[in-house]
């Protein structure tokens, strides 16, 4: 694929979102807006126990209620389990329940109110069983085993280089045990001048999207099953559903709908398979929408984690080795993520020169709400531990935390801690740019503290992206995509890339998301992959279309294709004669040679460049109450070409605000396995009143792996923010928090403990 030249006519411009007008005027159609003839509504009865045997279920009264069309229990649906990799979730509970909120029965009725009334008429008798809620306790030999049966594993459980992966090893309740080694960490720590060890805890948090999981399923007389679902990867979701219900993929049509927020959480099928069986039983289309209560108690929030780090330093305070143990609490089921574990381990200390590294990662079942993917899966937990640990080492050595990071920062020519080689390493430059804008060395008042944290992550290059470009007789281009825009502005970005390739304005490009029968396979959003993969697919299709246009121009100009030159404005010339794109296509259409199309797909190769970010936080701490006020944040980003400055800045600020919630207020609180922060009054998402002054620094001259040197930003802005804030709290009052979130109560308790107050 030839390298495209950048004119800046479309790429780099603050273009209005292609879906903006429809969204602000209410014309955008989400899954909850879908209405088809004969539609009825499904609701679920959920378990009140974290672990219990289902002794009996009596549904006779529910079935007799007027307006009820179907009532299902575990005995009424196939004895299959589904999942993105680990297929361990039953459609409805079979014999036992494993968490508070598990689906036990389902009803489809003429209205949501009738369905709710029917659920109250279902009588379930339970026999409570032993439960385990802590991941470390779940691995003990005496712990109750949640899944004694063999769990089916789909394709994709493959370890990378330097890695050993064991799925369902002989350790109680362990789903996956991943060990990664580069160099000799044990030997390095044994010979180190000093060794530091610290442990950290990160609780579970919810993605916090506005739109709950929603789906509509209609089974047609022609055998086609139509699905409308808030899912960021329709083609993958279709494949998983086809396996679960035993229907060929070409009989499942996932129709396009907009997604009201994703942040990683909209990758699962959630209620879709159950909705299908309700539709079969009722012989009517069924809609199911979770409530915010159900989202918080039975959704797929971020994994909680416990992390222990041991780091050895030489006499010059340079890192010689790191040994890490990461335990992720997966909850009662493992089905909500597509891999054996969470990728957050892969960037452990990736900003530092670490010649020797060993990482052990365990993912463990407990009788709690099943965890899933959330923006940068696993990375915020790991980064909080690493960047707090680095700060603690610096303070113990009486070194400036910024200087300690600079001293150990990875530079060009270094291998990553896991032995990968990357180029264009601008870690120190990113740190310095942020520190300069922040004023790291400026005097500060008592009770005011400053903290820093850093992170790196390359653009995602995995999975397959495909596009279809069609040029009509007027020279306008339609791009057909299989990936939804989950709120990031991806469709706008796609239009800008197409326009840039052909020297067009964005008004001459139309973006269409097709259904799963009209589009080729697309992996969908996730892992900040679409900027790279869709960008490559668009470049591939554009190259093919330009070849076809060049051939037409050669015919029109009466010359060989090799004689034709394509101008930055999309015109074609040869031997002093020039023809613009619209005239050429009009000429071709008059001869039946237009419209025409070109397909494109990406080249899924791991990029050898990465990106860096440095976060700087300033806080003020009230010693009387422990209250922490975040005064300002400065973030410095090492970026490539920015496609759309507005969307780019929106991703930076949106991710940062989301991270502030995880740092300072959000937490799914569990009591005996039950979520007690079960509504948005208790689960405290940040509001505009919580947001401080934000400043962004972009380093010019970055290199990206995608066409036009673009790079992803979606998972760079949120990961390391909590550590910067906790480091600032320590700088302000000498209190070190090893567990999120930061609360006034925790800070005050630590201050009192430090002062010797009982």
Q: Is pLDDT at 162 greater than 80 in this prediction?
A: no
CATH number of the domain encompassing residue 341: 3.30.365.10
Q: What is the pLDDT of residues 16-68, one digit of tens each?
A: 999 999 999 999 999 999 999 999 999 999 999 999 999 999 999 999 999 99
Q: Is pLDDT at 201 greater than 90 in this prediction?
A: yes
pLDDT at 702: 80
Beta strand segments in 141-259, E: 152-153, 163-167, 174-182, 194-202, 214-219, 225-229, 252-255
State phi, psi for 177 to the nearest 5 degrees: -130, 110
Closest by Cα among 208, 205, 197, 175 to 385: 197
**In a domain? residue 544:** yes
Q: What is the pLDDT of residues 572-597, one digit of tens each?
A: 999 999 999 999 999 999 999 999 99
pLDDT at 1: 35
Q: Which single residue is written with the structure tokens 């004895």?
A: 79
CATH number of the domain encompassing residue 286: 3.90.1170.50
pLDDT at 158: 64
pLDDT at 29: 95
pLDDT at 757: 72
Confidence of residue 568 (pLDDT cuts 50, 70, 90): confident
Confirm if 449 and 728 have CB atoms less than 8 A apart. yes
**In a domain? residue 747:** yes
pLDDT at 2: 42
**In a domain? residue 144:** no
CA 236 to chain centre: 15
DSSP-derived letter for residue 56 is E
The residue from 601, 634, 653 where one domain ends is: 601
Q: 503 with 377, same domain?
A: no
Confirm if 633 and 639 have CB atoms less than 8 A apart. no
β-pairing, 357-365 vs 174-182, is antiparallel
State phi, psi for 105 to the nearest 5 degrees: -150, 165
Residue 315: exposure state from Cβ atoms within 10 A (0-12, 13-18, ≥19): exposed
Q: 24 with 41, same domain?
A: no
Lowest mean pLDDT among 146-160, 421-435, 602-616: 146-160
Q: 747 with 632, same domain?
A: yes
Q: Is pLDDT at 299 greater than 50 in this prediction?
A: yes
Average pLDDT score over residue span 511-521 = 96
Q: Which single residue is written with the structure tokens 């297929």?
A: 87
Confidence of residue 337 (pLDDT cuts 50, 70, 90): very high
Instruction: Give percent above pLDDT 90 in the chain.
Output: 89
The residue from 549, 583, 601 where one domain ends is: 601
pLDDT at 159: 62
Average pLDDT score over residue span 144-168 = 86
Cis peptide before 741 (omega within 30 of 0): yes
pLDDT at 157: 67
The residue from 545, 568, 601 where one domain ends is: 601
Closest by Cα among 252, 218, 223, 220 to 235: 252
**In a domain? residue 450:** no
pLDDT at 646: 96
Confidence of residue 608 (pLDDT cuts 50, 70, 90): confident
**Range of 62's domain?**
36-129+210-261+266-298
Provide the 10 A C-beta neighbour count for residue 226. Answer: 18
Q: What is the pLDDT of residues 303-313, one digit of tens each?
A: 999 999 999 99
**In a domain? residue 174:** no
Q: Is pLDDT at 449 greater than 70 in this prediction?
A: yes
Q: Is pLDDT at 622 greater than 60 in this prediction?
A: yes
Confirm if 329 and 133 have CB atoms less than 8 A apart. no
Considering just the CA atoms, what is the radius of gyration of the chain in Å? Answer: 27
Q: 348 with 290, same domain?
A: no
Average pLDDT score over residue span 453-469 = 92
Q: Is pLDDT at 758 greater than 70 in this prediction?
A: no
Q: 561 with 636, same domain?
A: no
Q: What is the dihedral of CA 270, 276, 281, 283, to 10 degrees?
A: 140
pLDDT at 676: 96
**In a domain? residue 581:** yes
Confidence of residue 570 (pLDDT cuts 50, 70, 90): confident
Closest by Cα among 373, 319, 381, 375 to 348: 381
Q: 623 with 743, same domain?
A: yes
**In a domain? residue 576:** yes
Whole-angstrom distance, CA of residue 187 vs CA of residue 702 = 37
Q: Is pLDDT at 412 greater than 90 in this prediction?
A: yes
Closest by Cα among 501, 486, 500 to 549: 501
Q: 281 with 228, same domain?
A: yes
Average pLDDT taken over every residue of the chain: 95
Sheet with 304-313: strands ordered across: 163-167, 174-182, 357-365, 319-331, 304-313, 194-202
Q: 592 with 565, same domain?
A: yes
What is the residue-wise DSSP string for 373-410?
A: --SSTTHHHHHHHHHHHHHHHHHHTT--HHHHHHHHB-
Greatest Cα-to-Cα distance within the chain, rounded to the nearest angstrom: 93
DSSP-derived letter for residue 170 is S
Structure tokens at 107: 């009803």
Lowest mean pLDDT among 161-165, 250-254, 659-663: 161-165
Residue 246: exposure state from Cβ atoms within 10 A (0-12, 13-18, ≥19): exposed
pLDDT at 460: 83
Name the domain count of the chain.
3
Q: Which residue has the higher pLDDT, 640 or 330?
A: 330
Whole-angstrom distance, CA of residue 326 vs CA of residue 740 = 16
Q: 656 with 745, same domain?
A: yes
pLDDT at 123: 98
Q: 92 with 63, same domain?
A: yes
Q: 572 with 615, same domain?
A: no
Q: 90 with 229, same domain?
A: yes
């Amino acid at each position: 694929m030839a390298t495209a030249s950048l004119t800046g006519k479309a790429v780099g411009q603050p273009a209005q979102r292609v879906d903006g007008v429809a969204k602000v005027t209410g014309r955008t159609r989400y899954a909850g807006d879908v209405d088809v003839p004969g539609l009825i509504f499904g609701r679920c009865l959920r378990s009140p126990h974290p672990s219990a045997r289902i002794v009996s279920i009596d549904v006779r009264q529910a079935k007799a209620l007027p307006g009820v069309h179907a009532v299902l229990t575990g005995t009424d649906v196939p004895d299959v389990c589904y999942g993105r990799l680990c297929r361990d979730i039953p459609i409805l509970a079979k014999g036992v329940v494993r968490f508070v909120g598990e689906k036990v029965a389902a009803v489809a009725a003429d209205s949501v109110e009738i369905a709710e009334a029917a659920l109250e008429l279902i009588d379930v008798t339970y026999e409570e069983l032993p439960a385990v809620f802590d991941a470390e306790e779940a691995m003990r030999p005496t712990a109750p085993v949640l899944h004694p049966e063999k769990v089916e594993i789909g394709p994709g459980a493959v370890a990378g280089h330097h890695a050993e992966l064991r799925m369902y090893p002989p350790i109680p309740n362990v789903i996956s045990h991943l060990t990664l080694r580069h160099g000799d960490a044990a030997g390095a720590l044994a010979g180190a001048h000093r060794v530091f060890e610290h442990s950290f805890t990160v609780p579970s948090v919810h993605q916090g999207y506005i739109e709950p999981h929603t789906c509509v399923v209609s089974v047609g007389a022609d055998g086609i099953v139509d699905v409308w679902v808030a899912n960021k990867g329709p083609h993958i979701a279709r494949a998983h559903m086809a396996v679960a219900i035993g229907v060929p993929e070409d009989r499942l049509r996932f129709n396009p709908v907009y997604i009201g927020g994703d942040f990683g959480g909209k990758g699962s099928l959630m209620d879709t398979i159950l909705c299908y069986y309700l539709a079969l039983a009722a012989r009517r289309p069924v809609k199911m929408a979770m409530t915010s209560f159900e989202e918080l108690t039975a959704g797929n929030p971020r994994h909680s984690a416990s992390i222990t780090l041991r780091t050895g330093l030489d006499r010059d305070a340079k890192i010689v080795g790191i040994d890490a143990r990461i335990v992720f609490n997966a909850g009662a089921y493992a089905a909500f993520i597509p891999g054996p574990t969470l990728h957050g381990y892969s960037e452990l200390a990736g900003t530092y020169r670490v010649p020797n590294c060993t990482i052990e990662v365990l993912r463990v079942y407990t009788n709690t709400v099943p965890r899933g993917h959330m923006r940068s899966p696993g990375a915020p937990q790991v980064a909080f531990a690493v960047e707090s640990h680095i700060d603690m080492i610096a303070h113990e050595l009486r070194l400036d935390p910024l200087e300690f990071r600079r001293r150990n920062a990875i530079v060009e020519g270094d291998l990553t801690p896991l032995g990968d080689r990357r180029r264009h390493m601008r870690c120190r430059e990113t740190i310095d740019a942020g520190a300069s804008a922040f004023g790291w060395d400026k005097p500060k008042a008592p009770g005011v503290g400053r903290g820093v944290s850093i992170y790196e992550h390359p653009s995602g290059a995995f999975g397959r992206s495909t596009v279809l470009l069609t040029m009509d007789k007027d020279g306008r281009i339609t791009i057909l995509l299989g990936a939804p825009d989950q709120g990031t502005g991806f469709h706008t970005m796609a239009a800008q890339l197409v326009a840039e390739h052909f020297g067009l304005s964005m008004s001459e490009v139309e973006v269409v998301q097709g259904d799963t029968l009209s589009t080729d396979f697309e992996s969908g959003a996730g892992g900040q992959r679409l900027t790279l993969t869709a960008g490559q697919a668009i470049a591939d299709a554009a190259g093919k279309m330009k070849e076809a246009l060049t051939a037409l121009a050669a015919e029109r100009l009466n010359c060989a294709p090799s004689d034709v030159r394509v101008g930055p404005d999309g015109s074609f010339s040869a031997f002093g004669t020039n023809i613009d794109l619209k005239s050429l296509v009009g000429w071709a259409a008059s001869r039946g040679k237009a419209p025409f199309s070109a397909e494109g797909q990406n080249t899924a190769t791991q990029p050898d460049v990465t990106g860096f970010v440095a976060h700087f936080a300033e806080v003020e701490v009230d010693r009387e109450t422990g209250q922490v006020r975040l005064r300002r944040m400065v973030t410095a980003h090492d970026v490539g070409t920015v496609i759309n400055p507005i969307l780019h800045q929106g991703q930076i600020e949106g991710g940062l605000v989301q991270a502030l919630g995880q740092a300072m207020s959000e937490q799914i609180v569990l009591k005996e396995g039950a979520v007690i922060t079960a509504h948005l009054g208790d689960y405290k998402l940040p509001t505009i009143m919580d947001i401080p002054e934000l400043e962004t620094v972009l380093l010019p001259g970055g290199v990206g792996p995608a066409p036009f040197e673009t790079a992803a930003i979606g998972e760079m802005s949120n990961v390391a923010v909590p550590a910067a804030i906790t480091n600032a709290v320590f700088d302000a009052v000498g209190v070190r928090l090893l567990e999120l979130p930061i609360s006034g109560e925790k800070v005050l308790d630590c201050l009192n403990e430090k002062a010797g107050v009982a």
